[in-house]
Amino acid sequence: MHSKEQVSYEDYQKTAEWLLSQTKHRPRIAVICGSGLGSLAEDLKDQECFKYSSIPNFPESTVEGHAGQLVFGKLRGTSCVCMQGRFHMYEGYSLSEVTFPVRVFKLLGVKTLIVTNAAGSLTEGYNVGDIMIIKDQINLPGISGYNPLIGPNEDWFGARFLCMSDAYDKGLRSMALELSKKLGYSGFTQEGVYCMVGGPSYETIAEACFLHKMGANVVGMSTAPEVIVAKHCGLKVLGLSLITNEVLKEYDTEKAVNHNDVLRIGRMRAQTLQTFINELVAQIDGTSAENGMG
């Protein structure tokens, strides 16, 4: 699966130029759809779809629940691009490949990245079906040396050393919290910390207890690398986790986590998340226009 560890600026540019030559859309917002959440792209009007396999330099998604295509279109009048399926370390991809689309989005003219994922709850009061607005992240692979910015710095995108204390845009988070109240979603909307682990195995009970003590509210197998690269190249980031399972922290239980349950909850709550993202996109674009970023 590994193609190459390092990707050059020319590789990103070639992919972006190919896409710009194939579609009339000029997206301002990109959405990465997590496991079972690919239907988020279905609301796009005037769609143009490209299979990952047909896009120069693009990796291919191999996980069930990930369709593996890039969908361009308009959401509430705003030009967007959606990734139906992302790439993961556990598929055997290098982090350069996992994060490749984010830099392509930057070259397409995208200003804001909305990243979604399916996650397991580590926290009392976080229920299956809840939506968590990501306030911050713990990147366990990054802490142990797997960071997408390792290697020569691509100066065109950003500086060598990156501040991550404001990884998830405060303004976008406030907007999402306000919107959840307006839509009547407050009863199942949380705000908390997402922890990334490498996967594909789910956490042991000891690991789950450790992650919770570290300050993680939910755990998943993605997102952190894309957010680092998005931040590095100056994109604003909003993250949303759909709680699809409870992570076990007790030994005397017969429960077990499985991927089919994760996909089932994803489908069950997908329409709600779609409505949420539609409204967010309209609001983000309206705010950008007011700020003279049109």
pLDDT tens track for 62-77? 776 667 899 999 998 9
pLDDT band at 291 (very low <50, low <70, confident <90, very high): low
Question: Active-site residues: which are they?
Answer: 35, 66, 88, 90-91, 118, 221-222, 245, 259
68: left (phi over 0), alpha (psi -120 to 50) or beta: left
pLDDT at position 161 is 94
pLDDT at position 260 is 79
Query: Average pLDDT in the 103-115 region?
Result: 98
pLDDT band at 3 (very low <50, low <70, confident <90, very high): very low
pLDDT at position 274 is 87
**pLDDT tens-place string over residues 183-218:** 999 999 999 999 999 999 999 999 999 999 999 999
What is the pLDDT of the chain when averaged over all its residues?
90
Domains assigned to the chain: 9-149+173-287 (3.40.50.1580)
**pLDDT tens-place string over residues 223-258:** 999 999 999 999 999 999 999 888 988 888 777 777
As a whole number of angstroms, the distance between CA 145 and CA 134 comes to: 23
